[in-house]
Amino acid sequence: MEVLNIEAHYQGEIKLPKSLIEELPDKIMLATTVQYIDQLPKIQSQLKPKEIYLFTSKHGLHPGQILGCDSFKIQKDIDAFLYIGDGLFHPKALLINQKPVYIYNPLSEKYNKLSAKDINEYRIKKKVQLSKFLSADKIGIIVSTKPGQYALSKALELKDRLHSKEVFLFIADNIDLNELENFPFIDAWVNTACPRIELLHIDDLN
């Protein structure tokens, strides 16, 4: 079936609060979703003379665009991120870089910051997950058949490497984590589909 993607852009004007601009450090990486992507040049001009970088997506069509299935590890030497958008779905994923994440919501015209406390909580949860995985006897590997997320070869490679454990592959189009409760014999889950599934439901996959 043919799919037609149509971009829907925010029509309002985005003006960053003076207090936010003053609070931001000198080196910033900007990220946003497609709804606000055409606003980035004006936002950059408001942040001068700060050093500004745009998030680089492996899958997005525009500089600065961030997608749910992106790899969020950044190599740039920056002080913080500035995310333009509503919700915490994308900005929480940026915490993997262990840099503060400022969030400006154009709809509410308010901003907040994910900082050291949030980063520490994320790291602790990741360590707990890893510990449970290492001690698990039965592993479930999640594979999605969606384009861009399909990683069966990697899942099979991982299964071969985990020869000391009993490994089961679970393949589906839409990944519903509630369905995992139907397999209580699985001690730990490994996600090879969209990485944001794991970050959104970090407690559920433990």
Q: Which CATH number covers residue 147?
A: 3.40.50.11860
- Based on the fold, state whether residues 51 and 132 are members of the same structural domain: no
Query: In the structure, what pLDDT confidence band is assigned to residue 204 with cuts at 50, 70 and 90?
Result: very low
Domain co-membership, 109 together with 155: no
Of 114, 142, 167, the one marking the end of a domain is 114
Do 34 and 109 reside in the same domain of the chain? yes
48 in a structural domain: yes
**DSSP string covering 106-135:** TTTTEEEEE-HHHHHHHHHHHHHHHHHHHH
- Which among 114, 137, 165 is the end of a domain? 114
Residues 80 and 128 in one domain: no
Are 137 and 163 in a shared domain? yes
Question: What's the pLDDT band for 197 if we cut at 50, 70, 90?
Answer: low
Distance CA 173, CA 177 (A): 12
Residue 3 lies in a domain: no
Q: Which domain holds residue 109?
A: 18-114
Task: Read off the pLDDT band of 186 (50, 70, 90).
Answer: very high
Domain identity same for 104 and 37: yes
Opening angle at CA 174, ends 171 and 175, nearest 5: 70
Tell me, yes or no, whether 13 lies in a domain: no
| Cβ neighbours for 117, distance < 8 A, ≥ 6 positions apart | none
Read off the pTM: 0.71
The domain total for the chain is: 2
Domain boundary among 96, 114, 132: 114
CATH number at residue 96: 3.40.50.11850
Residues 154 and 84 in one domain: no
Residue 2 is which amino acid?
E
Q: What is the mean pLDDT of residues 177-200?
A: 81
Q: What is the pLDDT of residue 22?
A: 96
Share of the chain above pLDDT 70, in %: 89
Residue 95 has pLDDT above 90, yes or no: no
Q: Considering only CA atoms, which of 139, 205, 146, 140 is closest in space to residue 172?
A: 146
Q: Is the pLDDT of residue 206 over 50?
A: no
> What is the residue-averaged pLDDT of the chain?
86
Q: Which has the higher per-residue pLDDT, 175 or 137?
A: 137
- Asked if residue 150 and residue 90 are part of one domain, the reply reads no
pLDDT at 202: 43
- Is it the case that residue 4 has pLDDT exceeding 90? no
Q: Which stretch, 43-52, 86-95, 110-119, has highest mean pLDDT?
A: 43-52
